[in-house]
Structure 1
């Protein structure tokens, strides 16, 4: 039995009664074409069950319509929602997504970067924590960063971390807290998220209090964080307010506080940061600074598309946060 011949663009053109050039223009959306001509070509494609050669089209257009996403983890409410929203917005614009979950491992992140570059993605949206990787200095690759400083040429999309830090700390002060502690990630990370810490420091100093900060590692396990927060309560038994840099840490702090016989909010007031949908569902009573995650994703995709299309004058964007009133502060 002879092998069935693969349908070619010439066959579609013949069936539609148009030239191969016209059929190609329909396929690649190039030039002005009448609706009648477009319909004839599409009808012919359907009748012949023609499937375009995507590799050939990519070579012709010098585009793959693939966008790479690299984030430290999707096993986190903030990054999980952010990744889902990015994929949704990219799909609406005709892009397909390749996702790398770096798990805060620089070697794994570099591997994913190399793989994405080999797949010739049209652009990258990144939020991983590792810095100094040479792949981020690719001269012709559009990159957008979320909450991370990659290099000076890469625009950053972030929530207003400083505004959020002021709001969280001031809320604790307004409720009468006089021994306020902040938990944050490592200071070695160049990121707009450091502004949460800077805002906390400024606000407590302005109110004649001493800043006290406990630092967590991005690679810390839940048990390691619990041990750190137990240390916090042992070293500062008079703590009456905590501003946690994320909602997961805030929920763990509340759990550990119960071990030290502190009732929230009677004895201890806690404010978190992120306000992802899943967190709101699981911890609806948590008082937190809510990041506009959906808006962050939409903005990042729009900026990436502008960079892919070689638009000039693209800058970093900071989006305002809101205060979610729970019962923990």
Structure 2
């Protein structure tokens, strides 16, 4: 493997000159630059990124923390972050945390030691004290961390209200909710949106809410519990698309037809929802746009140190598919 000394020898310059060319630091005559570039290409020389990061104070690396790589929402989100970082010549690192605080803090410590330039974090477990010890730029994605950290989210509460309103417009008389984890910010916002629309209805009971923990199996069991406890449920709002797949299986296991007996609407808009039978009506997030926006905001923080903390909230969109009864409009 070629070294910087080999490049300097072939280009007939000093190693310091090669270093200045590589790091774009200090004046080097154009003809000399061309000789160095030619030598680098001829020798297929690969600069030591660690050394360059020490010299420049940057590693050109960005990490994305996600809580569950098995949830199709997060790979779709990661693709957008990766594309944006690649467009800006950053290396992308994906960290699956399982929403485990020990894994998250271990990743943070290791990445800071390796001089990673910034973090995009999807987390519901990091405390303000732990966030305070992060010494590099951070952007919260999908759910907020605290007011001092930039964030990119969607209008979870209003989007959920719109989902329930749509079920009502189809004639649903008793609407239940399969919610995400109680400790997750966006799950609570979606549950609040549901409650905004139903808590004053004569038929409403708290037993119409079950937690599916953002997981297929838990959501399947939660739906079975709801439908057995309240056989007259004719509308179901599910807190994300992955849980809705479990809810569809639950209805099937009980001999309940979707959408004839039960109209079901979910939240997220992942590609999986197009492939289920029936396909999922959902409140679709602009997944690619929010991932790309988070990366864009982080890169701006990295490159412009005085960037003000900002938050972006995108709107969700109703996508009508086969899991809800056909409306008359």
TM-score calculated relative to the size of structure 1: 0.87
Tell me how far 1:116 sits from its aligned partner. 1.9
Q: 1:7 — aligned with what?
A: 3
202, 214, 217: which one aligns with 2:210: 214
The answer for unaligned runs of 5 or more in structure 1 is none
59, 63, 81: which one aligns with 1:64: 59
The answer for unaligned runs of 5 or more in structure 2 is 325-329
150, 154, 161: which one aligns with 1:166: 161
Question: Which runs of at least 4 in structure 1 moved beyond 6 Å after TM superposition?
Answer: 31-35
How many residues are matched? 321
- Output the CA distance in 1 between the equivalents of 2:74 and 2:227: 29
- Output the CA distance in 2 between the equivalents of 1:290 and 1:31: 50
Distance change (3 Å), C-alpha of 1:318 and 1:52: same
220, 225, 234: which one aligns with 2:219: 225
- Output the CA distance in 2 between the equivalents of 1:242 and 1:38: 66
Counterparts of 1:185-224 in structure 2, within 5 Å, are: 185-189=180-184, 191-205=185-199, 210=204, 212-218=208-214, 222-224=216-218
Tell me how far 1:177 sits from its aligned partner. 0.6
Counterparts of 1:1-329 in structure 2, within 5 Å, are: 7-8=3-4, 12-13=7-8, 15-16=10-11, 23-30=18-25, 38-132=33-127, 134-138=129-133, 140-189=135-184, 191-205=185-199, 210=204, 212-218=208-214, 222-282=216-276, 285-309=279-303, 310-329=305-324
Q: 2:327 — aligned with what?
A: none
RMSD over aligned CA atoms reads 2.6
TM-score calculated relative to the size of structure 2: 0.87
1:146/1:158 contact within 8 Å kept: yes
SS in 2 for 1:24: helix
- Output the CA distance in 1 between the equivalents of 2:320 and 2:32: 58
- Output the CA distance in 1 between the equivalents of 2:38 and 2:70: 45
- Output the CA distance in 2 between the equivalents of 1:302 and 1:328: 36
Distance change (3 Å), C-alpha of 1:203 and 1:54: same
Deviations, residues 294-313 of structure 1 (Å, cap 9, x unaligned): 10111000111111121422
